[in-house]
Chain A
Amino acid sequence: MHKILQRLSNAALAVWVTGAYLFLYVPLLVLVVFSFNKITFPYHWVGFSWHWYQELFVTSEIWEAAQNSLIVGASSVVLSVTFGLLFVVWSSRNNKHYLMGAFYPNLVVPEIVIAVGLLSFYIFFNVPLGLPSLIVGHTLLGLGYAIPIIYTRYNALDQRIIEASLDLGATDRQTFFKIVLPLLRSALVAAALLIFILSLDDFLIAFFCAGSSAQTLSLYIFAMIRSGVSPVVNALATLMLVVSSLLVMVFCSVKVKEDIW
């Protein structure tokens, strides 16, 4: 009796988990498949076609939006990781670990509050809205992720290795660039990937702080969804999924080498 129950519960678990994965992936697969569909209405498969991808490449708005998103993403990554790294090194050396707490709210406070706060700030100081105002917001989120990730890795470093470097004649600066930085590489890469994707996928801060002139991919997709279904969005979605998959693969290979979480 017990064995049967055991088998049943195992089977139930397997079914549940399979169901969950299907739930996660069927919609995405459908999206991808139908980006190659010949026509838009009605939604059944007619035949294979690159048509929507061609339309995608022709639509200049998408390219502008993509370019903007990349600029914002890259800038946010550079700013967050650099500032975050400097901050972690400084606070760890001067034993001010508690100051890290100042960055926790970035992750805890609902994003809409941050977005709206920034907006009221900009309005008050008559700051023109555009890509820079957006980069500021994304860097805030980035700092919230970068600092804990880098901090964990930095404090897991064997202090004796740093002492050995100094002992052998390297100055603090040389030690930082030759020893500390290479050993932190996995954390920096993981943080960079995470922040880049976050920036790419972010909608709320762009919605409030980008103003009317700057268009990012998220905002573009939002507008497109509002105006109805179009397979061009399917094509865009497929491309973005490919990009995300590549980044996930890189991230997982980094994770396999060293544990970040």
Chain B
Amino acid sequence: MKTIHLKDISKSFEGDVILDDFSLTVPAGKFFALLGPSGCGKTTVLRLIGGFETPDYGTIMLGDKNITKVPIYKRRISTVFQNYALFPHMNVFNNVAYSLQLKNLDKERIKERVLKVLRAVRLESHMYKSIKQLSGGQQQRVALARAITNEPDVLLLDEPLAALDLKLREQMLIELIDLQETLKTTFVYVTHDQTEALTVADQMAILNHDGKIEQIGTPQQIYEFPASSFVATFVGKMNLFKGTLQTAGESPCVDVPGLGLFQIYISARYQWMQEGAHVVMGMRPEKIWMEKKKEEKFSNVMAGTVEAIVYHGPATQYNVRLKNDQMVQVFEQNEEHFPKEKIDYDDHVYLHWQKENAFLLER
């Protein structure tokens, strides 16, 4: 189990600056996800760790060893490529055994190891098949098996599930989590799909368009307590309200022009904020309780009219127009087949939430 340290990395391609003064620590033995929009540089970070690119400036440490100048084949890091990059002229066995065959190990030992790895990905019955005979999901597992065979310190995964259909993807995500827990290898998983990242990661980092880290944390921290409006809007759906902070009085409130005062909970991070600060109050759609009549037990409430209803299967999304013309998204779980109270278009509704379920962001 080794920690990865990227220190002050800069990387440009033909004049385009992808990463500038980039630093990141990937904790040892954890499933780490790198999430960000397309072109943000997350694949570049991965390729730098793997050795396929060398940084213009900065250092890369694996454990306590500086691997910045170490060539690809000497790093104990393996990659699972997006399109699998399996060797087409070899069968499954030879693909998986490749790294072991290079070291001229004993044939029996190689076979033993390959079998063990193929069992871990449930492909032992396909051991001598040619690559072309395999389905997409099977090929993906061969790529995985091939990468873990020589027990690397780090496994890099570059959007490995992008080519698979939804059901297969969900299945593979669970398998990957299990695999990482069994092997205890550091996994670095790059994706632009937030659901994947939130599912697999022990820790994740969000990159913005300019290749800067917006936030690092557990999936819960990132989702429930985003550090910036970029993270708030990139991960999950979000309702944002601009206003001014009012710290005078018994409890802190946010004054949203056109809507009124709303109680807010100030976390440790934003304790330094003062009266009159320009803030953004954020709320996830599922944290809002929507009723046709007003409930008293909630700290906050606002009124609006239902403008759109989108059925998602497990939940229904309601777009509610407020009196200041802002649109709010609300998720209601479809708990019952025949709900007692059905909410329809143009219904006048009340949106409630507790002050702990909203969060504060700087403007």
In the complex the two chains form, is B87's CB within 8 Å of A179's CB?
yes
Given contacts A160-B83, A163-B81, A164-B81, contact A169 B89 (CB under 8 A): no
Complex Cα distance, B79 from A163, in Å, reads 9
In the complex the two chains form, is B85's CB within 8 Å of A168's CB?
no
Complex Cα distance, B81 from A160, in Å, reads 8
In the complex the two chains form, is B98's CB within 8 Å of A165's CB?
yes
In the complex the two chains form, is A169's CB within 8 Å of B150's CB?
yes
In the complex the two chains form, is A168's CB within 8 Å of B89's CB?
no
Complex Cα distance, B71 from A179, in Å, reads 18
Partner pick for A167 among B50, B89, B103, CB 8 A cutoff:
B50
A116 CB, nearest partner CB in chain B, Å? 44
A259 partner residues in chain B, CB cutoff 8 A: none
- Whether B102 is near chain A, meaning CB under 8 Å from some CB there, is yes
In the complex the two chains form, is A170's CB within 8 Å of B85's CB?
no
Q: Mark A170-191, 1 if CB is under 8 A from B, else 0.
A: 1100100011001100000000
Given contacts A167-B77, A167-B79, A168-B98, 14 further A-B contacts (CB under 8 A): A158-B85, A160-B83, A160-B85, A164-B81, A164-B86, A165-B98, A166-B73, A167-B72, A167-B147, A169-B73, A170-B102, A179-B87, A183-B88, A183-B89
Q: Which residues between 60 and 104 of chain B lie within 8 Å of chain A, taking CB atoms?
A: 71-73, 77-79, 81, 83, 85-89, 98-99, 102-103
- Whether B146 is near chain A, meaning CB under 8 Å from some CB there, is yes
A112 partner residues in chain B, CB cutoff 8 A: none
In the complex the two chains form, is A167's CB within 8 Å of B73's CB?
yes
Partner pick for B73 among A158, A160, A170, A178, CB 8 A cutoff:
A170
In the complex the two chains form, is B52's CB within 8 Å of A169's CB?
no
B279 CB, nearest partner CB in chain A, Å? 46
Complex Cα distance, B87 from A167, in Å, reads 13
Interface range on chain A (Cβ under 8 Å from partner)? 10 to 19
Of the candidates A169, A174, A182, the one having the most CB atoms from chain B within 10 angstroms of its own CB is A169
A189 CB, nearest partner CB in chain B, Å? 14
B89 partner residues in chain A, CB cutoff 8 A: 182-183
Complex Cα distance, B85 from A169, in Å, reads 15
10 A-B pairs whose Cβ atoms sit less than 8 Å apart in the complex: A158-B85, A161-B88, A163-B52, A163-B72, A164-B87, A166-B71, A167-B51, A170-B73, A170-B98, A183-B89
Complex Cα distance, B87 from A160, in Å, reads 10
Complex Cα distance, B39 from A204, in Å, reads 57
Partner pick for A161 among B50, B71, B73, B87, CB 8 A cutoff:
B87
Q: 9 tightest CB-CB pairs across the interface, nearest first?
A: A160-B85, A168-B99, A164-B85, A166-B72, A167-B79, A161-B85, A182-B89, A169-B99, A166-B73
Complex Cα distance, B235 from A240, in Å, reads 72
Given contacts A168-B98, A168-B102, contact A163 B88 (CB under 8 A): no
Complex Cα distance, B355 from A66, in Å, reads 96
Q: Which residues between 134 and 182 of chain A lie within 8 Å of chain B, taking CB atoms?
A: 158, 160-161, 163-171, 174, 178-179, 182
A259 CB, nearest partner CB in chain B, Å? 15
Complex Cα distance, B78 from A169, in Å, reads 9
Residue ID in chain B nearest A166 by CB atoms = B72
Q: Which residues between 131 and 153 of chain B lie within 8 Å of chain A, taking CB atoms?
A: 146-147, 150
Complex Cα distance, B77 from A166, in Å, reads 11
Complex Cα distance, B86 from A183, in Å, reads 12
In the complex the two chains form, is A168's CB within 8 Å of B146's CB?
yes
Given contacts A163-B52, A163-B72, contact A168 B78 (CB under 8 A): yes
Residue ID in chain A nearest B72 by CB atoms = A166
B13 CB, nearest partner CB in chain A, Å? 14
B115 CB, nearest partner CB in chain A, Å? 18
Complex Cα distance, B147 from A169, in Å, reads 10
Complex Cα distance, B146 from A166, in Å, reads 13
Residue ID in chain B nearest A167 by CB atoms = B79
Complex Cα distance, B160 from A160, in Å, reads 13
Partner pick for B79 among A164, A179, A183, CB 8 A cutoff:
A164
B146 partner residues in chain A, CB cutoff 8 A: 164, 168
A158 partner residues in chain B, CB cutoff 8 A: 83, 85
Complex Cα distance, B73 from A83, in Å, reads 27
Complex Cα distance, B85 from A222, in Å, reads 53
Complex Cα distance, B98 from A171, in Å, reads 12
Q: Which residues between 117 and 135 of chain A lie within 8 Å of chain B, taking CB atoms?
A: none
In the complex the two chains form, is B73's CB within 8 Å of A163's CB?
no
Residue ID in chain B nearest A160 by CB atoms = B85
A141 CB, nearest partner CB in chain B, Å? 30
A161 partner residues in chain B, CB cutoff 8 A: 85-88
A183 partner residues in chain B, CB cutoff 8 A: 88-89
A163 partner residues in chain B, CB cutoff 8 A: 52, 72, 79, 81, 85
Q: Which residues between 41 and 61 of chain A lie within 8 Å of chain B, taking CB atoms?
A: none
Complex Cα distance, B83 from A182, in Å, reads 20
Residue ID in chain A nearest B78 by CB atoms = A167
Of the candidates B52, B73, B77, the one having the most CB atoms from chain A within 10 angstroms of its own CB is B73
Complex Cα distance, B150 from A59, in Å, reads 64
A143 CB, nearest partner CB in chain B, Å? 27
Residue ID in chain B nearest A171 by CB atoms = B73
Residue ID in chain B nearest A168 by CB atoms = B99
B102 partner residues in chain A, CB cutoff 8 A: 168-170, 174
In the complex the two chains form, is B79's CB within 8 Å of A165's CB?
no
A160 partner residues in chain B, CB cutoff 8 A: 81, 83, 85
Q: Mark B31-60, 1 if CB is under 8 A from A, else 0.
A: 000000000000000000011100000000
Complex Cα distance, B87 from A164, in Å, reads 9
A165 partner residues in chain B, CB cutoff 8 A: 87, 98
Q: Mark B266-309, 1 if CB is under 8 A from A, else 0.
A: 00000000000000000000000000000000000000000000
Q: Mark B292-328, 1 if CB is under 8 A from A, else 0.
A: 0000000000000000000000000000000000000
